[in-house]
Amino acid sequence: MAISFGSNSISNLKLGSTQVFGVYQGSDLVWPSVFPDAINRMRSPGLTTEFIDYQEDFEYAESTVRQDFRFRKSGNSVIFEVKAGILGNYSNDYYLVDNSNGQFTDTTIYEKITEIEIIGGIDKVKLDWSIYSEQEGDITGYGLTTILGDTDNTGATYAASDGVFSSLNNNESIGFTFECSTYSDTEEVLQWYYVTMQVDVWVGKSGFDDTKIGTFLFRTEVEAYVN
């Protein structure tokens, strides 16, 4: 069977639950009803990264970690990636789908979380982030979490906004940072604070329903102790 559009034709078109022919748009075909499997380098859903920082001092101790995220469009592929913005001194791990793990050692190098090739590409992306869980430490635990759209630290083209679609041209990206900190200024009090952030990634294309392509969890833990 062949379906023709002027000088363009598609031969041996297979219709089914994973390939549904919709409308023709330019030189591209259409979104499938089910996207091809993403190339997941890190675990998803589940714990993707874990940064842990511990600081100890005699009068005042402060602990901070930060993860930098970028979502970019490259041809028909969309790529979600992470790097260490502020390294922890105890752990800076990412967890791979083969149940092994790696470590961030450089604050300038991105590690790929996932990549997916979408027939026809995308026009826009939306990142929905939220605090999944948090817990404060001993006695009067203190913790601060900041999730912000960012271009300076991430090197992205645009700053991401929570729950808002951003249009992307080829080789453009959106970025944001996830930072946690705590401090202790009381003798023999450990301040312990951890946060798990959930990010839902949505993509869209004109004429088609918006689609979520993944959910990811990123964990940080900060501890500060005055002895």
Q: pLDDT band at 141, cuts 50/70/90? A: low
CB contact at 8 A, 50 and 87: no
Pairing of strands 173-184, 158-159: parallel
Average confidence (pLDDT) over 17-26? 34
- The residues spanned by each domain of the chain are 1-34, 37-226
Q: pLDDT band at 45, cuts 50/70/90? A: confident
Q: Measuring CA to CA, which residue among 27, 125, 108 is closest to residue 68?
A: 108
The predicted model scores a pTM of: 0.83
Q: Measuring CA to CA, which residue among 151, 73, 175, 149 is closest to residue 116?
A: 73
Q: Measuring CA to CA, which residue among 43, 60, 218, 225 is closest to residue 145?
A: 218
Q: Which two tokens stand for residue 162?
A: 């929570």
Average confidence (pLDDT) over 62-86? 96
What does the pLDDT look like over 109-123, one tens digit per residue?
Answer: 999 999 988 888 899
Residue 103: pLDDT above 80? Answer: yes
Q: What is the DSSP letter of 188?
A: T
Residue 15: pLDDT above 80? Answer: no
Of all residues in the chain, what percent carry a pLDDT higher than 70? 81
Q: Which two tokens stand for residue 74?
A: 């490259």
Average confidence (pLDDT) over 60-65? 95
